[in-house]
Structure 1
């Protein structure tokens, strides 16, 4: 079910669980990022505008739980065991999830290539979770991992302009920042969306920068000009929490 309060558009992904979670968004820049995302990515919103069927949701959550626990994409048999479904049923449901741009499969196979926020591609955005190191599809995905798994998940990446190392540590199960190096590092949240997947359109340009000056230098070189929002790290963390925090949340018992 699609719910909306002016720019605060959200989808009820299961009873009592809305995505994005606007309750964690306190800064104007994070609000502008999520609002601009909705306006610019109408195609993505269309795919997300209806809640998943119960079996689709079950497979989606099983996929991400196993991915987070093992540090790699789960196999069909592992998802089938986790969801208590047949392997053939899982294969069919994974294809449906791909049509909703929630996972990506290797062409012509049933092998999972990515499941937001994780990917097998070497994106440069590294996340530490449960003793495993994984790649995230973009800077916001990396910052959203901890909220999704209710854990502190350190992030390491590099400045898109100069390749300086950037490190982000969180506290309180990724509800707050603990340490950012360099301290004035920022995130560019790009609004681009094309084709049928965020992974190949906006994700490659949602990136970390060591400073606002280097972000501006990078933007000045882009043709055509990029559309998006510059976010301080606390603002980027709010966006990551809002998008990924609800994904594994159980349905509300009050619904």
Structure 2
């Protein structure tokens, strides 16, 4: 995986041949470009973890985990991953530990049990995604909004305003390329840039929905110290989610532009 410079002069990681993450082409507004640029700058340590390409077997296990997670409505176990990939269970465990070092999955301490595989987690976060008949916990607001583009199917997201607790409901259209409905027309998302060790424990807890700018400002004012991040309207937040998660399951591209089978 190489760190590349795209036409927007921003860095991206090539997660498999011809597939860059984030996908800067998803950004159509200055706010989204600035949010993605802020993410890259603040999380340089995360890009460092991606400075070397995943082995083919690591990539296969990563994508298999995510596909099985969605299909089953829970994280798959080692045996299920082994059956789906044809890779020996012992090797699967070793590959999962490597993926954890890249901050792609999270394993219970001393075990090979998956408790998170971005964008999903088994721990209650308040961000719920209805996907193909399952209700799954997303790590944060942006993760929840990115699910539709990642899986190529529309979803419903329910969360709470981080300030007042009121339920915010969002549905997508055009397989995650657009918003179909938002229960609170003035709703916004705070996209926090903090990053230490892993996203789940640093930035994700602060990446949240708010009913309005007023509620966001009230929450920011209640924090122990100033937070670094970006205020996004709902369309902008969806674009950030698409840019980050849209490439994750995309097939590798050949030099002639054709796609390999995933």
Q: TM-score range by the shorter chain?
A: over 0.9
Aligned to 1:243: 244
CA-CA distance at 1:252 after TM superposition? 1.0
Say if 2:80 is the partner of 1:78.
yes
- Give the whole-Å Cα distance in 1 for the aligned partners of 2:15 and 2:104: 12
Contact 1:77 1:87 in 2 (8 A): yes
| Deviation digits for residues 156-175 of structure 1 (CA, Å, limit 9, x no counterpart) | 00000000110101111010
- Give the whole-Å Cα distance in 1 for the aligned partners of 2:12 and 2:53: 11
Q: Secondary structure of the equivalent of 1:198? A: coil
Q: Specify which of 144, 147, 154 is matched with residue 156 of structure 2.
A: 154
| Deviation digits for residues 153-202 of structure 1 (CA, Å, limit 9, x no counterpart) | 110000000001101011110100010011110000000111x2100000
| Deviation digits for residues 191-249 of structure 1 (CA, Å, limit 9, x no counterpart) | 0111x210000000000000011001111111211000000000000000000000101
| Deviation digits for residues 19-65 of structure 1 (CA, Å, limit 9, x no counterpart) | 11111110111111110001111111111222211110000000000
Shift of the 108–156 alpha-carbon distance from structure 1 to 2, 3 Å rule, reads same
- Give the whole-Å Cα distance in 2 for the aligned partners of 1:99 and 1:15: 21
Aligned to 1:252: 253
Alignment of 1:144-223 (within 5 A): 144-194=146-196, 196-223=197-224
- Give the whole-Å Cα distance in 1 for the aligned partners of 2:51 and 2:130: 31
TM-score (norm 2): 0.95
Greater shift after overlay, 48-57 or 9-18?
A: 48-57
TM-score (norm 1): 0.98
Aligned to 1:232: 233
RMSD: 1.0
Greater shift after overlay, 4-13 or 210-219?
A: 4-13
Q: Secondary structure of the equivalent of 2:200? A: helix
User: How many residue pairs get matched?
Assistant: 254
Alignment of 1:28-43 (within 5 A): 28-43=30-45
Contact 1:128 1:134 in 2 (8 A): yes
- Give the whole-Å Cα distance in 2 for the aligned partners of 1:249 and 1:20: 12
CA-CA distance at 1:7 after TM superposition? 4.9
Aligned to 1:63: 65
